[in-house]
């Protein structure tokens, strides 16, 4: 039982319902629930909040009883997921497997289950969920639903295809060339695109070609040739429904490559930084120089451990969407499976539709459509990274909140800062690459860190010191692993930001698969 602050209404939670009554005892609304263990009314008198027997906490509009938000914290206190009735959700790492949609198929058929991770490309929208209790939420949600569609209609359209690997799930080969054969069976939702990953890294689907499957109507077969690095590899495929909105559960094959020919790896670096924008109000101080210094440091430190180090640097007016695409395509022609690829991005970042967008030099911010059209967004970045078919990839993002849109340090604690972190987390998952990332305010980006007369962005400053040797703190073997660089930045970035701005900046990290050295001291 809870009574509102004005004494005009009260809410009652029971085994089967939550009910809101007027003070005269008349029922305003009721909602069916599992057991209601606790109820309360928010201080602003807008929400009825209930802790339910299914382990969730739910928010209902006090006036109408409409559910607005649900939250579940797993007993391990690490995994959590929160979602809206429209299907938009946000989740901690590893938590997407906790909830989904139970789809009945009739009395004579087994029910099906679609996990939320299978619709994540469309409905993983932490930017919306973080605003679910705001007054403007419905305007944002309606705009998002025009793009995404109604989750109920999407699921009614049919299940994603069923996938089968033709051949064993564990294979051993003595050469680097491997062909994956798949059979896809339509389960009612049609057959759309197929995504491939090698050791977690997304690779291009462009080389896949159809072949005649063994079976009948409703099936499609695909062959995809890969050149794999020596050692143990995991080759993974994920198929989508015809509308490319619902993914099948991935299928995987383990391939041990025992190639007697030992090939030395090379390091390929694409380093991009924008300090001077066509819209001069966006200008930054160090991003372009940081891109130059980052590439130079990897070239210097990488010579000792790589057959060769190739770098391409794009700065300021060289940075357009078209030029970035060309750089990826040119580098894709050079790389070999045993090589290492590093992408560095320094400049402004924007979150649009819950997705991270790196802003090139020539973008004039008029509205979100301009960003969608001309910025380097999640989908383009995933597609272009997939062209770089190497066993080891690393991406570094030193991003600043875009110009006029975020002006104060306090805003980093607001939903805007949360949006940036979740958008980068989406990007990490979408590309499968190992990622080191940080998002700063414009004030931090303009001030930077000055050492020995050299100014840099704080995050890049820390990474360069780490690559030069300071990060060799775990093994002390003269090599800088990604894991060591991550550990060094995790300690140094908050320490230096607190020292300089009285605010702790926390970078983000995603280590995909096995840790590996990136430079030698």
- DSSP-derived pairing of the beta strands 219-227 and 177-185: antiparallel
Cα–Cα distance measured from residue 32 to residue 19, given in angstroms and rounded to the nearest whole number:
9
pLDDT (0 to 100) of residue 216: 58
pLDDT tens digits, one per residue of 284-306: 999 999 999 999 999 999 998 99
Cα–Cα distance measured from residue 329 to residue 331, given in angstroms and rounded to the nearest whole number:
5
What sign has the CA pseudo-torsion 393, 353, 192, 250? positive
Q: Which long-range contacts (CB under 8 A, 24 or more apart) does 486-491 make?
A: 486/436, 486/511, 488/462, 489/436, 489/459, 489/462, 489/463
pLDDT (0 to 100) of residue 213: 53
pLDDT (0 to 100) of residue 447: 66
pLDDT tens digits, one per residue of 388-419: 988 789 999 998 864 333 333 333 333 335 56
DSSP 7-65: SSEEEEE-SSEEEEEETTS-EEEEEE-S-EEEEEE-TTS-EEEEEETTSEEEEEETTT-
Whether 15 and 30 have beta carbons less than 8 Å apart is answered as: no
pLDDT (0 to 100) of residue 411: 32
45 pLDDT more than 80:
yes
Q: What is the distance, to the nearest Å, from the Cα of residue 23 to the centroid of all Cα atoms in its chain?
A: 48
501 or 12, higher pLDDT = 12
pLDDT (0 to 100) of residue 366: 82
Domains of the chain are 2-156 (2.40.10.480), 162-257 (2.60.40.10), 267-520 (3.40.50.1460)
Q: State which H helix or E strand residue 185 sits in.
A: strand 177-185
DSSP 267-286: EEEEEEE-SS-SSGGG--SS
Which residue's entry shows tokens 């640097």?
313
Mean pLDDT computed over 307-334: 96
453 pLDDT more than 90:
no
Whether 460 and 486 have beta carbons less than 8 Å apart is answered as: no
Cα–Cα distance measured from residue 481 to residue 220, given in angstroms and rounded to the nearest whole number:
42
201 pLDDT more than 90:
no
Which residue's entry shows tokens 């949006």?
419
pLDDT (0 to 100) of residue 108: 82
pLDDT tens digits, one per residue of 135-177: 999 999 999 999 889 999 998 888 899 999 988 899 999 998 9
Position 272 confidence tier, pLDDT thresholds 50, 70, 90? very high
Among 200, 230, 241, 275, which Cα is nearest to 429's? 200
Cα–Cα distance measured from residue 390 to residue 373, given in angstroms and rounded to the nearest whole number:
28
pLDDT (0 to 100) of residue 211: 60
**Residues forming a β-bridge with 51:** 38, 57
Cα–Cα distance measured from residue 382 to residue 431, given in angstroms and rounded to the nearest whole number:
5
Whether 13 and 4 have beta carbons less than 8 Å apart is answered as: no
Angle, nearest 10°, between helix axes 321-334 and 378-385?
20
Position 424 confidence tier, pLDDT thresholds 50, 70, 90? confident
CB-hemisphere CA count at 13 Å for 9? Answer: 19
What is the token pair recorded at 137? Answer: 């939420």
- Give the rounded percent of residues in the chain with a pLDDT score beyond 70: 92
Position 475 confidence tier, pLDDT thresholds 50, 70, 90? confident
341 pLDDT more than 70:
yes
pLDDT tens digits, one per residue of 52-66: 999 999 999 999 999
Q: What is the distance, to the nearest Å, from the Cα of residue 463 to the centroid of all Cα atoms in its chain?
A: 21
């Amino acid at each position: 039982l809870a009574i509102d602050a004005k004494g005009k209404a009260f809410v009652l939670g029971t085994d089967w319902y939550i009910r809101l009554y007027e003070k005269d005892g008349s029922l305003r609304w009721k909602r069916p629930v599992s057991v209601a263990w606790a109820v309360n009314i928010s201080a602003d008198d807008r929400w009825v909040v209930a802790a339910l027997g299914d382990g969730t906490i739910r928010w209902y509009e006090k006036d109408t009883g409409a559910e607005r938000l649900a939250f579940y914290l797993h007993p391990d206190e690490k995994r959590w997921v929160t979602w809206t009735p429209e299907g938009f959700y946000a989740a901690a790492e590893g938590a997407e497997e906790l909830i989904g949609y139970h789809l009945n198929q009739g009395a004579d058929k087994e029910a099906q289950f679609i996990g939320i991770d299978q619709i994540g490309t469309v409905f993983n929208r932490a930017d919306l969920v973080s605003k679910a209790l705001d007054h403007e939420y419905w305007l944002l949600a309606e705009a998002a639903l025009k793009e995404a569609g109604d989750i109920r209609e999407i699921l009614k359209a049919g299940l994603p295809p069923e996938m089968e690997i033709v051949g064993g799930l564990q294979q051993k080969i003595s050469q680097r060339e491997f062909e994956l054969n798949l059979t896809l069976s339509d389960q009612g939702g049609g057959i759309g695109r197929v995504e491939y990953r090698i050791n977690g890294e997304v690779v291009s689907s462009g080389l896949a070609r159809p072949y005649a499957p063994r079976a009948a109507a409703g099936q499609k077969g695909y062959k995809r040739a890969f050149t794999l690095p020596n050692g143990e590899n995991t080759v993974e495929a994920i198929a989508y429904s015809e509308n490319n909105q619902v993914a099948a559960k991935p299928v995987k094959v383990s391939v041990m490559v025992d190639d007697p020919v030992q090939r030395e790896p090379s390091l390929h670096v694409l380093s991009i930084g924008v300090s001077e924008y066509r819209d001069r109000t966006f200008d930054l101080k160090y991003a372009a120089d940081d891109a130059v210094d980052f590439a130079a440091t990897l070239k210097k430190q990488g010579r000792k451990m790589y057959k060769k180090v190739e770098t391409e640097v794009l700065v300021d007016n060289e940075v357009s969407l078209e030029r970035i695409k060309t750089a990826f395509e040119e580098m894709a022609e050079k790389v070999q499976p045993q090589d290492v690829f590093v992408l560095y991005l320094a400049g402004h970042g924007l979150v649009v539709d819950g997705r991270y967008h790196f802003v090139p030099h020539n973008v004039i911010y008029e509205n979100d459509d301009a960003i969608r059209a001309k910025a380097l967004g999640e989908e383009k970045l995933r597609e272009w990274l997939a062209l770089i078919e190497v066993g080891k990839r690393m991406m570094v993002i030193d991003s600043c909140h875009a110009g006029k849109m975020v002006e104060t340090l306090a805003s980093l604690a607001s939903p805007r800062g949360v949006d940036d972190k979740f958008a980068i987390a989406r990007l990490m998952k979408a590309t499968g690459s190992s990622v080191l990332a940080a998002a700063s305010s414009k004030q931090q980006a303009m001030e930077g860190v000055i050492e020995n007369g050299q100014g840099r962005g704080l995050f890049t400053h820390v990474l360069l010191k780490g690559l030069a040797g300071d990060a060799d703190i775990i093994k002390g073997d003269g090599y800088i692993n990604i894991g060591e660089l991550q550990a060094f930045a995790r300690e140094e970035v908050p320490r230096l930001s607190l020292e300089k701005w009285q605010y702790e900046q926390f970078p983000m990290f995603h280590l995909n698969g096995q840790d590996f050295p990136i430079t030698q001291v």
